[in-house]
Structure formats: structure tokens, C-alpha cells
Amino acid sequence: MEYRRLGKAGVKVSALSLGSWVTFGHQISDDVAADLMREAYDKGINFFDNAEGYASGRSEVVMGNILRKMAWSHETFLVSSKVFWGGEHPNQTGLCRKHVIEACHNALRRLQVEYLDFYFCHRPDPSTPIEETVRAMSDLVHQGKVLYWGTSEWSSQEITQAHAIARECHLVPPTMEQPMYNILGRHRVEQEYARLYTEYGLGTTIWSPLASGLLTGKHSKGLQEGTRATLKDYDWLKEQMAREVKEKADKVQKLEKIAKEVGLSPAVFAITWCLKNPHVSTVILGASKVSQLAENLQAIEAQVKLTPEVMKQVDEAVK
């Protein structure tokens, strides 16, 4: 496994990490979830990503039970939660101080840990002043309940505002951002955030490296049953995927050809491409089978195959 600094922070995060969105507490059994975490940990993954909104908190319960059963020292792993979608009542959503604090306490209880290594604002909240959120996050850090806090899918303007407030009010600024990033979705990470890497030392924990499965090639003849896009309660994803399968079919086929030429599966190729970006701290993997995770872990060693020439071919294929 390769380990990278989280932006300018000193903490080391495995270049590949394991996420629980859709799978834990929903798509897979708790036993399979345990097998996935054990395989990940044994192969050097030290970061496990979660959120209060995943399976309405059930995902954190499953992960917490596994962490207790495995009895790994917290010194050897990193675990996260994200706050925004916590329930149906008015103060169970968003980023007001009340919800940020209470969601953290709930995550600690469900994950059965004394502190969160990473705590993300899952989305920006236009109904809450950014200063209120920054103060709440900073307080949690000072209390030792959170070690590093960050944002997810925030604009560069919002991240900049959070840093300005933290600097002016002597608060703890966000350390990292969790954006979607893949070969077909590049603008935010490569362009919008460009100045933030040097200006703030921003780290990134990127998600959806396979574009929800589009880059695996499995949907080339239409959405395949059993994938996350066809699960109950994910109609929004199904509609999005069905549209993108049609719109981006030509690009996906070109990428599959390049992957074949360098001797990689489309999935491993797509993950490896993400790893080639020096501003990517870690690529969050999603898996429903141990064999799937094991295959995706090949991306670490596959980086040498994506030469500058191959990277140029990718740019040409998707432009």
C-alpha cells in the first residue's frame, strides 16, 4: 500500500480507502461488510469512510460493530463521518451548530469510537451561516472529538470563505475536501480547486472514481440489474446513469480500448488514473464483494503503466 499526506496535514492516509455508501447496512450483509473491512485492513487500507446519511445511520452501526469485533487499535486506522442528512425533523438536517454537534455524538456512539479522525460537512448549507458551522467544527476539534474536519462538494468560494473566517476568528480551518472525481468528471478537482492546493494545502478524499460503475464497462448495453443504480430508493441515480450511459458510450468505449492495451481492467484503469493526480490524497473505493475489492487494489501497482503517453491518450479520448 502507498500512503499519502492529507494535503499539508501530517496525517498519513492510504492511497486507496474503503467507503460504505450504498453497501453497508443496505446492499450487503453484515458478514460481507466484515470480510471487506478485514481484507482492506490486511492489505494496508487505513481509512474507512462513512456518514450519518448512509442507510439512515445503519451503515455506521454496522461499521462500529465490525471495529469492535476486530479490536484493531484506533492508532492503526482512520474513520470518518459526515453531517448533513440526519433525519426528518428540522434540526436533524443541515449544518447548524445544534445538528453538527449532535450528529457527531451520534456518530461516535454508532461507530463505537472515542473520536472521529475525519468529520465532513456532507454538503454546503445555504440556510446556515458558514461562520456558525466553522465554529461548531472548530469546537469539536478543540474538545478532542474530531481530529480533522473538512467539506464535501463545497465550491472553492465556500471553502475560501471558511478559511477566511477561521483565520479572522482564530478557529480551526477545514483540512480536506471530499469531491466526486473520475475520468469523466474532472473540472472541480483539476480546475476549480487548483489554487486551493497551494494556498491552503487542501487534501482530497475523492469518491466515485468509477462514475457509479459507468467506467467499469458493465453498463455498455444498458443498466445491469444488481448494481447500485438499480437498487430500491436510488431512482435518482438510475435516471442519471441511464442518461450518462447513452451520452458517454463513445468515450467509455475509447477508454476501455486504452485499458486493454495496457493490460488493465476498465475498473482498475479508472482507479489508477485517479491515483496519478498528485492532489488526490486517497481514492475511496466501494465494493460489494471481496473479489471486487481485491481487484481494485491492483491500482496501486498499476500506476507505472499509466505513462505520460497513456495519460495523453485518455485526455484525447474524453475531450
Confirm whether 54 is a catalytic residue: yes
Residue 263 three-state SS:
coil
Taking a C-beta distance cutoff of 8 angstroms, is the pair 260, 232 a contact? no
Selected catalytic residue, list 3, 41, 54, 197: 54
Contact 136, 97 (CB under 8 A): yes
> To which residue does cell 445503519 refer?
58
| CB contact set of 181 (below 8 Å; sequence gap of 6+) | 188, 189, 204, 206, 207, 208, 209, 274, 277, 280
Half-sphere exposure of 121 (CA within 13 A, CB side): 33
Cα–Cα distance between 117 and 115 in angstroms, integer?
Answer: 6
Task: Return phi, psi of residue 13, to 5°.
Answer: -120, 140
Catalytic residues: 54
